[in-house]
Structures are given as structure tokens and as C-alpha cells.
Amino acid sequence: MRSLLPTLLVLAAVTTLTACGSGATGLGSSAAGSSPRPSASASPSPTPPAAQHAAAFLTVDSARHRVDLRLVAALTPDNGGMNFNGYSKGAMTVTVPAGWQVRVSFTNRGPLPHSVAVVAGPTATTPAFAGAGAPLQALTAGIPAGQTMDFTFVAARPGRYRLACLVPGHEAAGMWDRVVVTSGGQPSINP
């Protein structure tokens, strides 16, 4: 019986600590309340660092002579969002051997509408290869923020091309990168 008193004191101390702990948990839950905030703000604008390497956007299937190219308009705020995968004004080059199939998955992070096509040069308004872009109407209108559009084409002829947004004014604002179709070798993406 005499040994019960310290036990009770310990229990009281533990209860106090627990109360203290729940106070701390209160703080913790406000911290937890703030922890959804970063993730909530992360989901509407999951903008990765601008330095995300371009290689992450190209998958090569050498056996099938096929590449999967992921393009994200306005991935970063760079160039006022007028970029593909964060790159604008020719900073990114996609190289594909002639005859290979290119499967493009194009997503617009917005907020402006954007499109993409492989074109022959700065004045071209239609795709350089059959199917190398959005449907014609979507090329100039763009697709809205949050939408994805897929298209597939064959890089039929060697040469230097542009990957351009054909929404009026966007390419002139720098929303273009480079496509090089080689007569051999392997696909690559730079930088």
C-alpha cells in the first residue's frame, strides 16, 4: 500500500505529461493542419524545379524504332509559361532518326491555352509530318489548362524542325523548341 503512492504520483505525472503532450499534439495538429496546406498547394501547381532534366521526358524503344515524348506546356513559369517542359526559344532539342515513330503525350499546365506541332520553320502553320500535331482546329485554339492530348507520327524526313505552339503569338513569344530528324543513330533529348 505504501508503494502505491509513488505509482499514483507517477500516473499523475504521466497524465500531466499526456495532457502536455496533447497540448503539443494540438500544436502538432495545427502543424498537421498546415501540412495539408503544402500538399494542397502542391497539387494545383505541382511545379517541379525548373532544372528538371529533359531526359525525363523521352522514352526510347530501340527495338520498335519508337519514342514516347512527353511534352508539358507551361511546366514552369519560365518565359511567362510559354515553354515546353520548361524550355523555350529553342533551348530543348529532340533528336529522332528518320523513320521512327514518335508518340507524343501533350499536357497543358496552363493557364493559357496551348498547342504543339512539329513544323518546318517559324512561319509554318501546319505540321511537317502527317499527324505531327494537334488536330488543325486545336493547333490555333490550343487546348485548355489541365487537358492532355496524344498524337502519333512518323519522323519521315531528315531535317531540322521546330516544336512550336501554334496559338497565335505564342511561337513569336518564344514558345518553341527544336526537333532534329537524323538519317541514323539513336534518339536523344537535350539539354
Note the residues at the interface with Cu ion (CB under 5 A): 114, 165, 167, 170, 175
C-alpha cell, 183: 538519317
Separation between Cα atoms, residue 162 and residue 25, nearest integer Å: 56
Which CB, 20 or 50, lies closer to Cu ion? 50
CB 125 within 8 A of CB 141: no
Q: Tell the smallest beta-carbon distance from residue 160 to Cu ion (Å).
A: 21
Q: Tell the smallest beta-carbon distance from residue 48 to Cu ion (Å).
A: 20
Which CB, 170 or 187, lies closer to Cu ion? 170
Q: How buried is residue 124: exposed, middle or buried, by Cβ count under 10 Å (0-12/13-18/19+)? A: middle
Which CB, 114 or 178, lies closer to Cu ion? 114
Which CB, 102 or 143, lies closer to Cu ion? 143
Q: Tell the smallest beta-carbon distance from residue 167 to Cu ion (Å).
A: 4
Q: Tell the smallest beta-carbon distance from residue 165 to Cu ion (Å).
A: 3
Residue located via cell numbers 519560365: 78
> Residue with CB nearest Cu ion?
165
User: Which H or E run includes 10?
Assistant: helix 4-34
Region of residue 33 (phi > 0: left; psi between -120 and 50: alpha; otherwise: beta): alpha
